[in-house]
Amino acid sequence: MFTFSYDGREIPAYRGESIAAALHAAGVRVLSRSVTHDRPRGFFCGIGKCSSCLMRVNGIPSVRTCIVPAERGMEVEPDRGRLPEVSFESHPPADLDVEVLVIGAGPAGMSAALSAAEHGSHVLILDENPRMGGQLVKQTHKFFGSKEEQAGTRGVAIARELEKQLAGYASDGRVGMLLQTAAIGYYGHSNEAHVIAAANRMENQLYRINARQVVIATGAMENMLAFPGNDLPGVYGAGGVQTLMNVYGVRPGDRVLMVGAGNVGLIVSYQLLQAGVQVERVVEAMPSIGGYHVHAAKLRRHGVPIQTRHSVKEVYGGDVVEGAIVAELDDDWNEIEGSEEKVPCDTVCLAVGLTPSARLLLQAGAEQRYIPAAGGHVALHNQRMETSVAGLYTAGDASGIEEASTAMVEGTIAGLAAADTVHGVEDIETLLEDCHARLKDMRAGPFGEKPRMAKTVIHREADDAGI
């Protein structure tokens, strides 16, 4: 254990712990404030996708403290809108030339990198987090499904195995890794290569990456609900709660209201119970539970009520959550007057779905569509996961919200296609057919209906667009 400085206080932290997690463990809930109304902001997503945790670190403003590890002697303070005291002027961009660039080191990105490296390509994998694994590192539950879907294996174990395999290719120079480095812009083609700008802000280093093929596997962002008080510290995305508990061992609060009864909401509720946190109730706007009933049964055995046709109407409190008001909904999704009920709690967890993180794909000019079943705007892509921009692929949640198991297969397809374009891959059609057969099996059944429908629309429209 060591300490860093926060606004004149010494904050204890452990090696590998994020700044925001250490502050949370020390009782610091307010990490920033809104510019216009000075409203408090706190830990929300835990994966660097929102702006709630932006703080000034060692003089550098707007640091996403939820993904930056704490270090001994760091100086952390609220970001009060002052101009930066550092620049990139003394650190000119470093030029990197690669055959296959993979942006995102989650299940899809790691699988893409492995697939491309296995078939002869030199790969660089880029991620803004301090470790690889993406959402797998917080998934302590065992996967369902078949052996091909990693049934009976915990997400954290899958992440370790993928990282071990990548390390084998890294040792012979086939795979390079840049962590804590974010892709900050796509600058088109130059000499038959895609040009990507990336930055490691804490090391004050820019990179200009020239890549023959690019796989964008940037994952997804937590959805938000619109209600008064939704920005108060103590309102979290479900992934943020998992990050605090399962990655850093920090309880998000003592009394939780869970919003959403899909698999994520049910699983996280049970994990909260295991951590000694009281789950007041689970509310679900739909008329029925969306997740596996075995997960719901676990909660009910612990006395946790699950209220369908209910949602959160308002969250109240001063600088932090002090409670919430829930209301019953009618058949037209309107609140039933007089059904409001106060729920004392210090934490509201939103498990209301994800949106693909497709902004880099949009900047690159990949043709997109808004497809609700896929989670939002996604880049059209063909059976090889290639978008309308030649040599630019997508995979995993960035291409449509699904499970980690399908993300890994999609990543494998994208890596295969990229390697095939660079060097040619023997028996490529057989390998791709095998991957698509696996995806078909994974998407079978009622829980696969939504992603199956989304991919049907994506591939049909991609075909119509000549992709």
Is residue 370 within 8 Å of residue 358, measured between CB atoms? no
Amino acid at 174: R
Q: How many CB atoms lie within 10 A of CB 243?
A: 26
With 0.85 as the threshold, say if the pTM is over it. yes
Please give the pLDDT value at position 35. 83
Residues in contact with 337: Cβ distance below 8 Å, sequence separation at least 6, in sequence order: none
Q: Stretch 104-119: mean pLDDT, rounded?
A: 97
Residue 285 pLDDT grade (very low, low, confident, very high; cuts 50, 70, 90): very high
- Looking at 275-403, list the stretches that DSSP marks H as alpha helix, in order from N- to C-terminal side: 293-301, 359-363
Is residue 11 within 8 Å of residue 204, measured between CB atoms? no
Please give the pLDDT value at position 37. 86
Containing 123, the helix (H) or strand (E) segment is strand 123-126
What tokens does 440 get? 């078909």
DSSP conformation letters of 168-205? HHHHTTSEEEE-S-EEEEEEEEETTEEEEEEEETTTTE
Please give the pLDDT value at position 147. 64
Domain 224-352: CATH class, spelled out: alpha beta
CA distance 268 to 139: 10
Give the residue among 128, 106, 143 at the shortest CA–CA distance from 184. Answer: 128
Please give the pLDDT value at position 61. 87
2-78 and 224-352 have identical folds: no
Please give the pLDDT value at position 202. 77
CATH number corresponding to 2-78: 3.10.20.440
- Per-domain residue ranges of the chain: 2-78, 94-221+355-464, 224-352
CA distance 453 to 423: 33
30 three-class SS: coil
Instruction: List Cβ<8 Å contacts ≥24 apart for 449-454.
Output: 450/373, 451/373, 451/374, 451/400, 451/401, 451/402, 451/406, 453/373, 454/371, 454/373, 454/374, 454/375, 454/378, 454/400
Is residue 381 within 8 Å of residue 364, measured between CB atoms? no
**Lowest-confidence pick of 60-69, 199-208, 288-297, 347-356:** 199-208
Residue 329 Cα to chain centre, angstroms: 30
Q: pLDDT of 78-90, one tens digit each?
A: 987 655 555 545 5
Fold for domain 94-221+355-464?
A: FAD/NAD(P)-binding domain (3.50.50)
